[in-house]
Structure 1
Amino acid sequence: MATRRSPKLDKKLVVETALALLNEGGLDGLTLRAIAKELNVQAPALYWHFKNKQELLDEMATEMYRRMKDGMPGTLGATWQEWLVASNRGLRAALLSYRDGARVFSGTRFTGTLHAVEMEKMLRLFTDAGYTLAQAVRATTTAYMYTLGFVTEEQGVQPLPGERREGYDIDERARRMADFPLTAAAGAEIFEDYDRHFEEGLALVIAGIEARYGIG
């Protein structure tokens, strides 16, 4: 019987394997041991590339960003509002394509400087529109954190598009909350129609930025 040969192990292959396994078992089920098994190597072999799981998550988030970057909007001719809408829509779509995608992204540190290219364009767009650098940073990070938090909650209910966790039946929730009619009715506004709710929330963020800084 032929012996299965291990692939040539490098950082890129480990990350690609980790992202594939993420969609199978989620972040909690993603371990260096599971990745090593999939690659047909011993777990210590992975430590040549990553000292711990956090380093792996940092590189996974960076790879997710690389894949997302091609769909990011250009800044030429765009208003800051148009850029903010398009970039955060793109971020949400990218995170939703991975089980626990928002949790992987949250709190990680990008490796390299690829993200700085887009960040520089974004900050230039805002400062050219009249924002100070501090205002530009606050505006863009607020929108980013809104999207990250929104998708984290969204994936808590729908881990992947088309899936729904047990316990989030709207009618059953309304029956349990019958003594609290407004809270009961709010269920459909919290746990359904995420596309519409995301767009409305993002519009609120943009309107808040305009109102706070007085720059349209």
Structure 2
Amino acid sequence: MASRIDRDVVVETALRLLNETGLDGLSLRRIAKELDVQAPALYWHFKNKQELLDEMATAFFRRLFATTMPAGEPGAAGRWPSWQEMVVRSCAVFRRELLKYRDGAKVISGTRMTDDSFAAPLEHFLGRFVEAGFTAAEGARAWWTAYNYTIGMVIEEQSVHPDPGHPEVRDPAYDLDDRERRLAATYPLAAGAGRTLFGDSQEAFESGLRIIVAGIEAMRGERKGS
């Protein structure tokens, strides 16, 4: 039975089903049904759902880096004109790709890479920081902060707009008019913040990213000043 499928087929099917089922509805049993095999055939490849999620995340990053990395050897500046542009562009592409999958950010969050395909892109990013005068540790912390910010923002964004096929549709729980009516009298600042927090997701993401870039610049400035 197991010879009919391999790990790649299982992962491809899981990613395809994700938009239909969401993360909670995605199970090895559901994937087996889609592939028209018995569930034990999948356990030959993945012991549990977490192992499958790890492989899904690895496949996602492998594709992402293959299509978005600048030309050149790991550590080279490539086409990035500056480290600031590298952070902004790479995180924007990361967000865009995550939004293609329902619960895409939740799938990525907390997973472990199953191979070393992440290492070359990471070497490239850190090399760009080092070329700009950061220490390797500072570059690692800067990239890790921007990376985790992107995942966190997309998790929040996908809770507001859960269907990637209809990003204009808002979960009723995030009705901004209703939120303002409930909070305005007692908590006017919190009421007004709703449209900033849950309104234009693109603008919110870009604003936060600018804050992070400014923080990275300030961190380096403090070290130089000391």
What's the CA shift for 1:66? 2.1
Partner of 2:194: 187
Q: Take 2:198 and 2:184, find their aligned partners in 1: how far apart are those partners? A: 17
Q: Take 1:96 and 1:88, find their aligned partners in 2: how far apart are those partners? A: 12
Partner of 1:103: 106
One-letter amino acid of the structure 2 residue matched with residue 178 of structure 1:
A
Q: Take 2:31 and 2:100, find their aligned partners in 1: how far apart are those partners? A: 20
2:54–2:113: 8 Å Cα contact kept in structure 1?
A: yes
Partner of 1:120: 123
Q: Take 1:86 and 1:71, find their aligned partners in 2: how far apart are those partners? A: 13
Runs in 1 of length 4+ with deviation above 4 angstroms?
Answer: none
1:72–1:86: 8 Å Cα contact kept in structure 2?
A: no
Q: Take 1:86 and 1:145, find their aligned partners in 2: how far apart are those partners? A: 15
1:71–1:90: 8 Å Cα contact kept in structure 2?
A: no
Mark the runs of 5 or more structure 2 residues left unpaired by the alignment.
Answer: 71-76
Q: Per-residue displacement from partner, 1:123-175 (whole Å, max 9, x unpaired)? A: 11111211111111100000111111111111111112233212111111111
1:173–1:184: 8 Å Cα contact kept in structure 2?
A: yes
What's the CA shift for 1:178? 2.1
Query: If each structure's helix is expressed as a fraction of its own residues, which one has the higher value?
Result: 2
Equivalent residue for 1:135, pick from 123, 133, 138: 138
Q: How does 1:142-153 map to 2 (within 5 A)?
A: 142-153=145-156
Q: TM-score, normalised by structure 1?
A: 0.93
One-letter amino acid of the structure 2 residue matched with residue 142 of structure 1:
T
**Alignment partner of 1:9 is 2:5:** yes
What's the CA shift for 1:67? 2.3
| Root-mean-square deviation over aligned CA pairs | 1.9
Q: Take 2:60 and 2:87, find their aligned partners in 1: how far apart are those partners? A: 19
Equivalent residue for 2:171, pick from 165, 168, 171: 165
SS at match of 1:186: helix
Q: TM-score, normalised by structure 2?
A: 0.89
**Alignment partner of 1:48 is 2:51:** no
